[in-house]
Amino acid sequence: MASGTRRDERVRATREALLAAAERLFAEHGVHAVGNRQISEAAGQGNNTAVVYHFGTKVDVVRALIRSHAERIEAIRVGMLADIGDSTELRDWVDCSVRPVTAHLAELGCPSWYARFIAQVTADPALYPIAEEEFYGVSPSLRALEDGLNRCVPELPDEVRAERADMTRHLIVQMSVERERALVGGTRTARSTWHDTARGLVDAIVALWQSPVTREP
């Protein structure tokens, strides 16, 4: 029994090392530029087939990475949604869009690679559907979040709400990338903490959702 437990621990440690190496390499070089051999070597694995053995394809590695972060972000979001209940305040719902991500990044510490990794994935036409599938599979609260946001702006046409939801996602991801990159590089950041970064993002996104819609004459 003890030997089986030790083996399970070794397997778990190897998988975690492979995921950590993959995330860093994907963030720094792009998903398509990194091969399984590079991931294995970066994780300190002498066996170059370690990625295939533990995960399968590179896409399976991407899925596993997305899922591991999405689960932790979901836990934060669920707690925030419980706190706001049926709020009709737009800012409450924007908070629930932004702060689970920035809080998770704060928990990861420095260096982190998640923001740059997820930016690579969501910008890739082949990988974005996979990311969307994983996020909604792991994060059922996303539907409740979308419904709450939409209830706060009933006057917006459906296509405008969809467009602004995309803008919101891009702002959260790209501003997180900017701060994460600056922290890793040791350069100045606009805000001193992830908490303050979230406040600035929420201010901007609330204004985005409240901005008027220009109608064609």
Residue 18 resides in a domain: yes
What integer is the mean pLDDT of 23-45?
A: 94
- Helical H runs in 43-192? 50-54, 58-84, 90-108, 114-122, 128-138, 141-152, 158-185
Share of the chain above pLDDT 70, in %: 98
Question: 181 and 120 in one domain?
Answer: yes
What integer is the mean pLDDT of 78-96?
A: 97
d(CA 152, CA 190): 30
Note if the pTM is more than 0.85.
Answer: yes
What mean pLDDT value characterizes the chain? 94
Q: What is the pLDDT of residues 122-158, one digit of tens each?
A: 999 999 999 999 998 888 899 999 999 999 999 999 9
pLDDT of residue 2: 63
Question: 157 and 202 in one domain?
Answer: yes
Q: Assign residue 38 the CATH number of its domain.
A: 1.10.10
Sign of the CA dihedral with 45 first, then 47, 53, and 56 last: positive
d(CA 53, CA 55): 6
Question: 79 and 26 in one domain?
Answer: no
What integer is the mean pLDDT of 199-211?
A: 98
Is the confidence at residue 1, as pLDDT, over 60?
no
Question: 131 and 25 in one domain?
Answer: no
pLDDT of residue 45: 86
What integer is the mean pLDDT of 12-36?
A: 95
Q: What is the pLDDT of residues 92-129, one digit of tens each?
A: 999 999 999 999 999 999 999 999 999 999 999 999 99
Question: 10 and 72 in one domain?
Answer: no
Question: 88 and 184 in one domain?
Answer: yes
What integer is the mean pLDDT of 73-92?
A: 97
Q: What is the residue range of 101's domain? A: 62-210
Question: 171 and 98 in one domain?
Answer: yes
Residue 217 resides in a domain: no
- Give the domain-ending residue among 40, 56, 72: 56
What integer is the mean pLDDT of 43-69?
A: 91
Structural domains of the chain, count: 2
Is the confidence at residue 5, as pLDDT, over 90?
no
Residue 216 resides in a domain: no
Question: 197 and 110 in one domain?
Answer: yes
pLDDT of residue 160: 97
pLDDT of residue 184: 95
pLDDT of residue 3: 62
What integer is the mean pLDDT of 172-197?
A: 96
d(CA 26, CA 116): 8
Question: 139 and 118 in one domain?
Answer: yes
Question: 206 and 123 in one domain?
Answer: yes
Question: 15 and 111 in one domain?
Answer: no
Sign of the CA dihedral with 172 first, then 175, 181, and 183 last: negative
